[in-house]
Chains A and B, each alone.
Chain A
């Protein structure tokens, strides 16, 4: 198993550009989520999904869209990048409520918006 795979690892965008951060897991996990990590602020939840076709907002959803068309994939879209979105983005997954298992994290995408 590859676990949780995030691409790309690094990305530089200009203000106003759009892009999609990819996240895929091969563990058949029901729950997936996106976090951003900024210095001194820990991880903040952007969006999460409890299954294919179901998504909801987390703590800091503005400026981001998500979709979950398959169990495996949970892409994060930046609609119009802003310097405030410069951050490290982490995708995570977990099996679901019946299992009470740890979150599995990808290695992150470091995004810089100039």
Chain B
């Protein structure tokens, strides 16, 4: 059974700091790994998707890496801004991509 863990559960950093969010999963037979952002009381917005054959994806100040053999992914946020404050969720898709399992998320607060 796939289990997804995110560390830390919460993080507070000053504006401008570079930061790393961690995600680990127990079954390396994955189809893809996704990172989402969720603002309070809102739905989920897709940030990055890494296919199982890829090692990383980049979008603006965000970079996500994937190491299937160790069951780990990291989301790197460069030069953090107060607008980055949100909950970040990691999700792993099974082979075929029809079942996606989520971690509990990391709640990020960036102080101005």
Contact = CB atoms under 8 A, between A and B. Distances in A.
Nearest to B44: A105
A59 B49 CA distance: 22
Interface of B: 4, 6, 9, 31-32, 34, 36, 42-46, 49, 51, 89, 91, 96-105
A108 interface: yes
Contact of B89 (A43, A44, A45): A43
Contacts of A97: 31, 96-98
Dominant secondary structure at the B interface: strand
Interface stretch (A20-28, A33-41, A66-74, A76-84): A33-41
Contact of B43 (A31, A90, A101, A102): A90
A41 B96 contact: no
A1 interface: no
Contact of B51 (A45, A58, A100, A108): A100
A92 B97 CA distance: 13
Nearest to B100: A103
B102 A43 contact: yes
Contacts of A40: 9, 104
Given A50-B98, A97-B98, A100-B97, A106 B43 contact: yes
Nearest to A50: B98
Nearest to B89: A42
- Chain A interface residue count: which class? 20 to 34
A45 B102 CA distance: 8
Nearest to A88: B41
Which one of A59, A92, A102 has the highest number of Cβ atoms from chain B below 10 Å of its Cβ?
A102
Contacts of A42: 4, 6, 89, 102-105
Given A102-B49, A103-B34, A45 B100 contact: yes
Nearest to A3: B43
Contacts of A31: 97-98
A67 to B, nearest CB: 17
Contact of B99 (A43, A45, A90, A104): A45
Contact of B102 (A44, A101, A107): A44
